[in-house]
Amino acid sequence: MTGRGDPPEGAPDGIPGGDDEYRSVVFDESFVRAARIQEFSATERMRSDARAVRTRGRLHGSVSRQAFALILLIALAFGTAVYMGIRHPYRQPDTAVPTQATMAMIPLAPARGGEPPTGAPRDLFKKGPASQYRVGADGIALPAVRRTDHFSVSQVLQAAMAAKEYLVASSINPDVLMSRQTRPVRRMLAPEQQAQFDRSLTRPADDGRHAATGWMVRFDPAKVKLADQGVRVDGSIQVRETDADSLQVTTDHTFVYAVGSARGDGKADKAAALYTVRRELRLGFDRTALRESQPVLLESSSEAGPQLCSVDASMYFQPVLPGTLKSGGDPGKSGGTDPFDHDKPVGATCGQLAAGAQG
């Protein structure tokens, strides 16, 4: 019996028939949906302006959207990495600037003839070179500044101000002078120098690298007291450019302290004597140090007296106190060194304090 719709005599030879013959050319639903040309429905074809078929836009499937999102994420990650590399919160050491400070402290023995003059601080400061000095931070004057090839006036001034702040913290602050604190000095140093600073306090040595007195002026509170809080100061600050990314500040100041003995209640303990420290510092600033006001201490040179040449001054300055110097003393070499004379460089060996510099 013939199938429905087939001729009575069956399908002619050579003519395909049945569903199986067309299975290879039948398109599934996903192929039809993806076609760019699609026939309008009967209702749509009844419109006067309708065309027979419509063109479907190219599909932007989920794969395209995912690829775009992936590209966007990669771009954001790259931009974040670059930004964090530029704005890294931890400062990296600048290899162009030495991070190890060198330091020297030259004692100046009392002038021949015995102990330095003693008395009340107000009387001691009335005569001698220190009588013309200002008190405290007022004695550290900022220089007249000008722009350099690669730094503006404000940047040069900022370097000079940071140097002054370091001098105040390390040479005038009473808590630092009397060894009650070291943090005011440490926090001002560049991070890469703080380990050297700590080593100088825990294991001080007169080796040109690890003397606590190279970083700051400090006295042993068991032996010395400040008879007057007003330190007399005078000197100069100079700023110059060393390269396109660095400034160097040179300071040269003389500090005069009225000190007395911290022991007992004797007559000598109530008297004061002047103790003079001349400090020459070289401070380096790269652009990060300048922005954070944290210089690198490159070099510290001091001459201080009256102080015996034989004492160890790596931890504390050791002034000759009233009533402690025996006859003959420790005169050092003859000739006399004047720590108030800034026209001459700091000496290299123990010298004798000039008579006129003792007050």
User: Is 253 in a helix, a strand, or coil?
Assistant: strand
> Are 123 and 262 found together in one domain?
yes
Based on the domain organization, do 85 and 139 belong to the same domain? no
Helix and strand counts by DSSP (H, E) for the chain = 12, 11
DSSP label at 12?
P
Q: Cα(214)–Cα(206) distance, rounded to whole angstroms? A: 10
Token pair 């330095």 is found at: 116
Residues 77 and 176 both lie in one domain: no
pLDDT of residue 255: 98
Residue 42 belongs to a domain: yes
Query: Where among 89, 123, 143 does a domain terminate?
Result: 89
Whether 45 and 137 map to the same domain: the answer is: no
Total domains present in the chain: 2
pLDDT by 10s per residue, the chain, length 359: 455 555 555 555 544 555 555 555 555 565 555 555 555 566 665 665 555 555 554 444 555 777 778 888 888 887 777 666 555 444 444 444 558 899 999 999 887 656 778 899 889 999 889 999 999 999 999 999 999 999 999 999 999 999 999 999 999 999 999 999 999 999 999 999 999 999 999 999 999 999 999 999 999 999 999 999 899 999 999 999 999 999 999 999 999 999 999 986 555 556 899 999 999 999 999 999 999 999 999 999 999 999 998 889 999 999 998 877 654 444 444 456 666 766 666 655 666 666 666 66
Q: Do 229 and 127 share a structural domain?
A: yes
Q: What pLDDT does residue 56 have?
A: 52
Cα torsion 146, 148, 153, 154: sign: negative
Q: What's the pLDDT score for residue 94?
A: 42
* Residues 61 and 108 reside in one and the same domain: no
* Residue 117 and residue 79 in one domain: no
Q: Is 286 domain-assigned?
A: yes
Domain that holds residue 29: 22-89
Residue 328 has a pLDDT of: 46
Range 27-33, long-range pairs (CB < 8 A, 24+ positions): none
Shared-domain flag, residues 60 and 126? no
Distance CA 87, CA 272 (A): 53
Domain endpoint, select from 62, 89, 116? 89
Would 283 be classed as within a structural domain? yes
Same domain, 84 and 232: no
Query: What local confidence, expressed as pLDDT, does residue 165 receive?
Result: 98
Instruction: Answer with the one of 89, 114, 137 that is the final residue of a domain.
Output: 89
Residue 13 inside a domain? The answer is no
Residue with the two structure tokens 């068991």:
222
